[in-house]
Structure 1
């Protein structure tokens, strides 16, 4: 065989091997093998914060399994059950109720439970002597029911069911029976509410004539709980009763089958293999928790999701906090190709637009929109100060009912700009025209506000009286901070850099507002630069050019922390090792000081806020990935619960993006104008399937023995594609198996794509390299 022939043969073998094997793997059905393991009943319930119990949900209805073996309690929460009373803290997300299961024979029994993320099931086993009790629970996809299947071995036991609704917080409650079905209701419908909320829960044990029965070893009892609110059905009680009355074993089997299929589809939208079970466990665990609470597009999850076991009043009412908390849960959904989980994000924002226009006009004397720190669904103002002097004194020690117009803006102007972050992320990852048209009116309103609010002086746009941190009656020197505030705070400056880049691209994509583009470009190019300070020979980031009182000395001292990270690195996409190498180096050095000279609230082990950005930010600016993984594992170990929730005190659902976003950025990056495969993965082996990038591409690749084996790109919208060459040799590109010529600029290859086509990138190996690979196989 000639050398030329052998070389050609080896190259063909390489292409066949890496594409064929990977294609075969893609056809396999992927399900994550991880389970949350519980060896004792939960202790951190009831609570408005994160429970330490098994969790399941269908994206609207959520359950938390609590209680003891003898007195089990299934807490039932729902995304759309809110008390819409203004005047903090008198409204917010509330708990509908739950189901009690009393089995006296299990008093003192052992407890074991599994939270199975592959299909959203919870399995409980309790043992006492010869008696073994098993309970399986799930919340079917697309059906607001809770399915419970009970069985025993060894000997029979008596079971009593009790459906209940949460009382208190000025709710009205009812319980009764209709057509042999027990039900309970909770109502918030007093005249002072913005809108009423009603919820009904109904329970039906299939095959039993009542809620008391004997569970025998030879039988299995299926219990169905139905839930409905007035936001779904005007006859919410009738809907809840009907949903359980007509349930049968065959109906339940169908619900189980469709639920299993939903989770199979979800998990096969993308997956990663890291060779690290701890990272994989929390990667998939976080995505499970988000999928369990984020499928109601009219009532997306707020701070608490749908796993509350008490009214959320103590957890900032469980609202939509606009200065990062509301946005953060979805920051990994785009790159993980779970875009559908973000469908509900925009709706509360858009529903509040009319009120925000009034706020901008009356309080700021500007066009556009001005958002308070917290909002709720359906235009609800969740962050309104108390409405009476007595309540203001009780909560804040002042009587001023007109503070900030009666709403908590916390001295910040940037909330609306921050709310656009997720909108631009979805736009860049999908280039969905219908979606862009939906959110563009809001984005245009944000532009109008800042065009009026910024002051153009001496060749630059300045941002005055806009605080870096939240300020209010709960902070020191808050009156001075609100009166004069910070000037050119780093958070707003970064968000505006992100914002004007986004509106310029989106308006061009939609071919609208051509007459505004010159102004927007001028603002983008002439914003005040990021404030820096040199201290002891170190260049450090300042939180603001200048500030007042605590705003300049205590709370905005030099140092790069989470708030600046949101605005300048992740999720804003402003800084990177390719696009801004000098600034990335400054931030990389700042991160290196987090253990010794953090400044502000920046530290790897901040247990209050920041988990959602610290580690991803470190990867994006080029910090040592081995060190990041070590720090990430240490942080997980500090507050991880057995249900895969990694807690922090500043919020609940916001942490669900932390591990997936960090891992995704180590495996694949695209925000700097090119696709970078394995840009920061330190391990020898890893693979990923269908991670999503800017440009609406789905990318798959594999790394073996430190070498990238192939890159497969599926183009959804037919946009040009640029890829950083992952090999130290030239690469070849094929389009649906046919050679394609790429334009080469340094180590970046650019080629046109067609919507629906598949592109394979492989290394052009030397004859020696090809022979070596062939021999290794």
Structure 2
């Protein structure tokens, strides 16, 4: 059904990417299967495949010490292609990248794909008009705090890299390279005789001896590469059949399908979602530790997955949020004197806290050992995606899994909010990171998130037959939480970022995040409230935003 729509669209590159390696998102062609990721960089004479994996982190709870890390690089050197033309096309429907480099009378074509059903990169090289010499090499990432090794076992080249000392959880990974039918790293590609190579990958989360596992995987899959391709095509066909958009606007359609391609390539490991810049980590020094930033970055890439029927790609989002609950309870009790959970801005997988013990550059940014930026809303912001998942599926098994988290977020706000007259108010909660020296009162975002959390807690508790005694309190909060603050700008009523404190900011979407993604104002809302929401969106005029949507 979807093939005639999605197959129309490609991502086309006519020059080598300029942002690779990069401490932020790369502009390179991207491949992946939701766990193993490849970013393709370099000029025609030296193609570089930057190798990353969602579970390859330095897992240490220490500011500027832990985070997502580059694993290594596959290099394919073809000196005859120096000065060649460059064209790379990424076919979305088949999830394969086709490269074409021409230099005088010689042309080198390469088809690259990361198998949808195994952690294997496959590359097929084909020459036209004249033989082309290629030399392959594998290089692990290197830093003072990791242990790297490389070697050869029979016809396979291998590398291993690990962060296993002075960490909370040791992590290692390995890759094995096989050039099928060839005995060495250097080979000639003859016209009419393609050469195929594969790189198989495994981590210590999958096998204690990840190197042996990668070697075995390479051996198995090299003998069945055609079957692996068939499985790959079948998986992607099923993925695209889950939804498609055809609206007569090729620009929007291409961006929609490209976004779904990126998320299918980045997010399928159930315990390790993509980090802040996606699976494609190309340095050991990614900005913000390459972590899960909880004041929008971790949430935003998933927003479109629920409505496009791709919940399998959205579900990994929850794992780090749930794994951090023990530490979140400690912060709530010891720093705020509240029940429930209180989250800092940056976390990693498996309960790791990437921003712990941040130097207190500004007193109101830190709280105890954690970096909070004065914001109390991080845990509630995590509930945004859980709410989207619930409202799109009403899956009670899912509700049972995340309900303890929702219950804990609700408990925190029950205790943290103050009763002021007939309303509940929120004190000392920064709308922006560190805004107004920590004195923001009734910030828009938290007012929206509290409403969302209480409504979600009520619905899930009713579906699960749980916490009957708490529902009255949740309903009371819903009926009495403070109204969204407003102000006048250019003769129109718009939302004020806080009731007291920061009033406005042109450079982010915090003034509308209670509308979306919190979902507390919609087309069926009170007409006056809806008019204010429309005025605010118009006043922000945010056609380009760097602080509210996906970071990759």
With the shorter chain as reference, the TM-score category is over 0.9
Aligned counterparts, 1:442-521, within 5 A = 442-471=405-434, 481-482=437-438, 485-521=439-475
Task: Give the C-alpha shift of residue 380 in structure 1.
Answer: 0.3
Quote the residue 1:60 is aligned against: 35
Contact 1:487 1:546 in 2 (8 A): yes
* Partner deviation per Cα, 1:242-274 (whole Å, 9 max, x = no partner): 11123435x110111111111111111011111
Spell out the pairing of 1:737-776 with structure 2 (5 A cutoff): none
The verdict on how the C-alpha distance between 1:108 and 1:368 changes in structure 2, with shifts beyond 3 A counting, is same
8 A contact 1:70–1:103 mirrored in 2: yes
- How many residues are matched? 552
What is the Cα deviation at residue 197 of structure 1?
A: 1.1
Q: Which runs of 5+ in 1 are unaligned?
A: 1-25, 387-391, 596-602, 613-650, 654-777
> 1:157: which partner in 2?
132
User: Contact 1:500 / 1:521 at 8 angstroms: preserved in 2?
Assistant: yes
Question: Which residue does the alignment assign to 1:572?
Answer: 518
| 1:96–1:166 CA contact under 8 A, matched in 2 | yes
* Alignment match, 2:270: 297
Superposition deviation, residue 523 in structure 1 = 0.8
Q: Is the 8 A contact 1:541 1:560 kept in 2?
A: no
Kept in 1: contact 2:512–2:536 (CA 8 A): no
Contact 1:34 1:116 in 2 (8 A): yes
User: Aligned pair in 2 of structure 1 residues 572, 201: CA closer, same or farther (>3 Å)?
Assistant: same
Contact 2:366/2:374 (<8 A) preserved: no
Verify the 8 A CA contact 1:206 1:247 in the aligned structure 2. no
The 3 A distance-change label for structure 1 pair 431 and 402 is closer
With over 3 angstroms needed to count, the CA separation of the structure-2 counterparts of 1:207 and 1:28, relative to structure 1, is closer
SS in 2 for 1:340: helix
The match for 2:186 is 212
Could you tell which deviates more after superposition, 491-500 or 41-50? 41-50
Q: Distance in 1 between matches of 2:504 and 2:101?
A: 54
Shift of 1:426: 0.7
User: Which residue does 1:3 correspond to in 2?
Assistant: none
1:246 aligns with 2:192: no
Q: Distance in 2 between matches of 1:320 and 1:134?
A: 37
How many Å apart are 1:54 and its aligned residue? 1.1
Please name the residue that 1:85 is paired with.
60
RMSD between aligned residues? 2.0
* Residue ranges of structure 2 left out of the alignment (5+ in a row): none
Is structure 2 residue 280 aligned with structure 1 residue 317?
no
Q: Provide TM-score, normalisation by structure 2.
A: 0.96
Q: Match of 2:74, SS?
A: strand
For 1:403 and 1:277, locate their aligned partners in 2 and report how far apart those are by CA, in whole Å. 47
Counterpart in the other structure of 1:327: 299
Deviation at 1:605, TM superposition (A): 2.9
The farther-off stretch of 576-585 and 458-467 is 576-585
- SS of aligned partner of 1:213: strand
**Which residue in 1 is equivalent to 2:551?**
652
Q: Does the CA contact (< 8 Å) of 2:2 and 2:240 recur in 1?
A: no
**Matches of 1:203 and 1:28, distance apart in 2:** 33
In 2: Cα distance, 1:141 partner to 1:234 partner? 23
Q: Distance in 2 between matches of 1:239 and 1:46?
A: 28
Establish whether residue 308 from structure 1 lines up as the match of residue 281 from structure 2: yes
SS in 1 for 2:258: helix
Which residue number in structure 1 is paired with residue 244 of structure 2?
271
Q: Does 1:604 align with 2:539?
A: no
CA contact (8 A) 2:5 2:246 kept: no
SS in 1 for 2:245: strand
Say which SS state the counterpart of residue 331 (structure 1) adopts: helix
Measured in 1, the distance between the counterparts of 2:2 and 2:71 equals 42
Match of 1:172 in 2: 147
Cα distance change, pair 557–68 in 1 and its aligned pair in 2 (3 A): closer
Using the size of structure 1 for normalisation, the TM-score is 0.69
Contact 2:160/2:172, CA 8 A, preserved across alignment: yes
Matches within 5 A, 1:247-396: 247-248=221-222, 251-311=224-284, 313-386=285-358, 392=359
TM-aligned CA deviation for residue 373 of structure 1: 0.7
